[in-house]
Amino acid sequence: MTRPLRLVIFDVDGTLIDSQDYILAAMRRAFGAAGLPTPTDQATLGIVGLSLPQAMEVLIPGLAQPARDRLVTLYKQSFLAIRQETGGEALSPFYPGARDALDRLDRAGYLMSIATGKARRGLNHMLDSHGLQPLFVGTQTADDAPSKPHPGMVLNCLAATGVDPRDAVVVGDTEFDMAMAVAAGARAIGVSWGYHGAERLERGGAERILDRFEALDEALGDIWETA
């Protein structure tokens, strides 16, 4: 019997690459330029994964839309400036085992896609910097679908590949990733090295939580055995 097409959809920040320093620096610079009190690092990392308008609303509830839009613009400008000053996200390291895991899944014949709160421009820069473009059959960004945890990114990935939801797994580090997967009817694997702890990942619907990338292959096999 032919094995069905199977799709692994990865988050980026906090899952594949450690871009924490870029995110925190850009947020501090954006809020400073807006003349607003800077969120704590914990608060900033807690909204990683959301699209920027939603993230700013969480950081400052009830913020008027013009002020929110200005913060979004300032953050994008700050991130771009920091990238230019430091040499780019190529300096953001992979989490241990991440690149090897991608190569293993590719050799094993799995399809792979990305679902990220990054903007399209930022994602393309990251993929080009790390030479990842050829590994993914599709990518979804904040420019392509509503913010996580809305299922739109996953649904778009499924539509593009023809994969059944139960043959797709989202791998991410936040509650938003897990809830997005569940809402789309896909499976959900959380990783412990990102921005949300185990309790939040489980609340979002994580079926497994990994402590190292080397455990991903076995976790995928176990999940699809129970599909």
**What domains, with CATH codes, occur in the chain?**
7-18+92-225 (3.40.50.1000), 20-89 (1.10.150)
Mean pLDDT of the chain: 92
Residue 130's pLDDT band (boundaries 50, 70, 90)?
confident
Residue 21's pLDDT band (boundaries 50, 70, 90)?
confident
pLDDT at position 83: 80
CB contact at 8 A, 115 and 9: yes
Three-state DSSP string of 72-140: HHHHHHHHHHHHHHHCCHHHCCECCCHHHHHHHHHHCCCEEEEECCCCHHHHHHHHHHHCCHHHCCEEE
Residue 198 reports pLDDT greater than 60: yes
Percent of the chain with pLDDT over 70: 96
Residue 177's pLDDT band (boundaries 50, 70, 90)?
very high
Q: What are phi and psi of 139, to 5 degrees?
A: -140, 140
- Segment 46-68, tens digit of pLDDT: 888 888 999 999 999 998 999 99
CB contact at 8 A, 176 and 12: no
pLDDT at position 55: 92
Coil/strand/helix, residue 167: helix
Residue 8's pLDDT band (boundaries 50, 70, 90)?
very high
pLDDT at position 39: 94
Residue 29 reports pLDDT greater than 90: yes
**Mean pLDDT lowest for which of 20-34, 72-86, 140-154?**
72-86
pLDDT at position 128: 87
Residue 185's pLDDT band (boundaries 50, 70, 90)?
very high
